[in-house]
Amino acid sequence: MRELARRVKVSHNAPYRHFPDRGSLLAALAADGFAQLGRAQQEARTGGGLKGMGEAYMRFALAQPQRFRLMFGGMVRIAAYPALREVATKVLDGLSSALSGEVAEAAGARDASIAAWAMVHGLANLMLDDKISAAAKQGRDDATFARDVLATLRFAARPAQFT
C-alpha cells in the first residue's frame, strides 16, 4: 500500500480513506481489470467474432501482465467480494453468449466457453511466464504468435461423442 501511495504521490494513509484494507484495494483493481477485459471482448466480438474475443483476451494479458495475474492468480478471493464476483462472472457469460450461436445446445455453449477460456488463458500464462521458446515462435512477435495460435483452434458445433 505504501508503494502504491508513493507511486500516485499521496500519503501512505490516503488509500485507506477509500479502502478498508489491502484486500479491498486489490479486489477493486481486479474488478476494474475484468471490466476492461469485458469491454475489450465485446468490442472484439462485434468486429471479429469468437476469434477476435480470444485475441482481445491475449492483448489484455500481454499488455497488462500484473493486472492479469492479480485477476486470476488467487491473490484475491473472488467469492469474498461481491462486486468483483459480479464483473468476473460477466466476462465468462459474455463468452458463453457469443458461443451460443455456434454450439447446438445451450449446455454445450457453457462447456465450450469454459474450454475456450481455458485454452486462451493457458496460452496467455505460458507466454507471460516465458514458457514458449523463441524457436516455437519462429521469429514472430508475441501478438502475431498468439493470433496465429488462436487461428488454429476449432470448436465442434455439436457435443462430443465419447466411446
Decide which of 3.40.718.10, 3.40.190.10, 1.10.357.10, 3.30.70.100 is the CATH code for 2-151: 1.10.357.10
pLDDT value, residue 62: 96
**CB 116 within 8 Å of CB 54:** yes
The C-alpha angle 80, 18, 89, rounded to 5 degrees, equals 35
* Least-confidence region, from 47-51, 77-81, 82-86, 136-140: 47-51
**Domain coordinates in residue numbering, the chain:** 2-151
Give the C-alpha separation, 31 to 34, whole Å.
5
Residue 51 CB-half CA count within 13 A: 11
> The C-alpha cell of 158 is what?
455439436
> The C-alpha cell of 12 is what?
501512505
Mean pLDDT of 121-132: 94
- Band of the pLDDT at 158, cuts 50, 70, 90? very low
pLDDT value, residue 105: 61
Give the C-alpha separation, 129 to 124, whole Å.
9
Per-residue pLDDT tens for 88-108?
Answer: 999 878 877 776 666 656 566
- CA dist 19 → 11, 22, 23, 48, 107 (Å): 14, 7, 9, 38, 39
